[in-house]
Structure 1
Amino acid sequence: MDRIVQSLTLFSSLGAGLMAGLFFTFSAFMMSVLAKLPSAQGIATMQSINVSILTPLFGFIFSGTALACVILAIFSFTKWGGAGMGYLLAGSLLYLIGCVLVTAVFNIPLNDSLAAASPNSVEGVELWNRYVVSWTAWNHVRTVLTLASLASFILAFRKLF
């Protein structure tokens, strides 16, 4: 059992780190670069990114880490009070809330509305201006919470192994 928990904790650390890096990239410079483009180009580029990112590898990292976090959260409850269990639970919940929930509730619906927009329309330009601000703000939340998840998993790993 220790080997499984160790492997899941390592996998979750790596997954949270990869997702945090992706989110950080968009928060730190990608969205500001896209916002500087003419609106039609920014819309078309982000529409392309939103389609292109949906690869099996991305799905494996995003969803696989979520599944590992669910297992680790349950495990941390069964061993509550043991060394590192608080960090393990925190890392799991931070990933599930910060990455999965925020993405599902905020970023995906924004992406869906952008996907339906015509890049050359007045409505598309207005949507784009709102999208950049709102999507980026929620992406900042994802960045911070997945980084906190990574930090929690690192602390859990130190306590557990």
Structure 2
Amino acid sequence: MKLLQTVILVASTISTGLMAGLFAAFSYSVMPGLGLSSDRTMVEAMRNINKAIVNPTFMSLFMGSIPLIAVAGVLAWRGYGRPALPWIIAALVLYLVAFFITSGVNVPLNDQLAKATGAQHLAAAREQFESSWVFWNAVRALLHTAAFGFMAWALIVFGAHRLSAVSQPASPATVPYDLRQATGG
């Protein structure tokens, strides 16, 4: 059970970190770079990015992080890693908020941008899209980054808890009866 907890906790931490990195990279490099582009280039690039990103790798990480974090929480609650549970719950809550921002704000803005045609419409679509999308992307990047931080801390707490349990001497109640008799205890 401890090995399963460790594997799930590590996997959920990695997947959460990858999502934090993706959204942060959009905030500090992709969108500022596209912001310097013409309307046509910016709209075309975002359309292409939005098409390309819907792939098995992205979807399995983006969607898969939720059940991974949830399973990490259930295993911590039911098993050995209870001290890590508050951090896992906090990470799950932040990840879910960011997930709902993505599906409720960023994806509809992407869909709206995909419908724009013609030079005048491209300029108007960009104006309606860019500042709102950039703002909400920054929010979800911060939320994912905080969720990643909480998962990393949960991993540290879980590891420290395991180490302290291993380094503590066995109590008399856990020593087999025959061994206690043989040692005069």
TM-score for both structures, normalised by structure 2: 0.79
In structure 2, the gaps of 5 or more residues are 160-185
- In 1, Cα distance between equivalents of 2:83 and 2:76: 10
**Residues 69, 95 of structure 1: 8 Å contact kept:** no
- In 2, Cα distance between equivalents of 1:140 and 1:75: 31
1:107-143 per-position Cα deviation (integer Å, ceiling 9, x unaligned): 111111111111x331221121221100010110111
- In 1, Cα distance between equivalents of 2:96 and 2:4: 20
Task: Answer 1 or 2: higher relative contact order, Cα 8 Å, separation at least 6.
Answer: 1
The one-letter code matched in structure 1 to 2:25 is: T
1:63-90 per-position Cα deviation (integer Å, ceiling 9, x unaligned): 11122123234445557x9311111111
- In 1, Cα distance between equivalents of 2:151 and 2:7: 12
**What is aligned with 2:58?**
58
**What is aligned with 2:41?**
41
1:7 has 2:11 as partner? no
Instruction: Please state how far the C-alpha of 1:37 moved relative to its aligned partner.
Output: 0.9
- In 2, Cα distance between equivalents of 1:49 and 1:43: 10
The one-letter code matched in structure 1 to 2:140 is: R
- In 1, Cα distance between equivalents of 2:139 and 2:56: 25
**What is aligned with 2:83?**
83
Report SS of the residue matched to 1:117: coil
Of residues 125, 128, 131, the one that matches 2:123 is 125
- In 1, Cα distance between equivalents of 2:102 and 2:36: 24
Q: Point out 4+ residue stretches in structure 1 off by more than 6 angstroms.
A: none
**Residues 66, 96 of structure 1: 8 Å contact kept:** yes
Instruction: Please state how far the C-alpha of 1:4 moved relative to its aligned partner.
Output: 2.2
The one-letter code matched in structure 2 to 1:19 is: M
What percent of counterpart residues are identical? 28
TM-score for both structures, normalised by structure 1: 0.90
* Aligned residue-pair number: 158
**Residues 9, 72 of structure 2: 8 Å contact kept:** yes
- In 1, Cα distance between equivalents of 2:58 and 2:39: 27
**What is aligned with 1:149?**
147
Report SS of the residue matched to 1:83: helix
- In 2, Cα distance between equivalents of 1:158 and 1:130: 43
1:115 has 2:111 as partner? no
Of residues 141, 158, 161, the one that matches 1:160 is 158
**What is aligned with 2:163?**
none
- Structure with bigger gyration radius: 2
Give me the CA root mean square deviation: 1.8
**Residues 15, 61 of structure 1: 8 Å contact kept:** yes
The one-letter code matched in structure 2 to 1:112 is: D
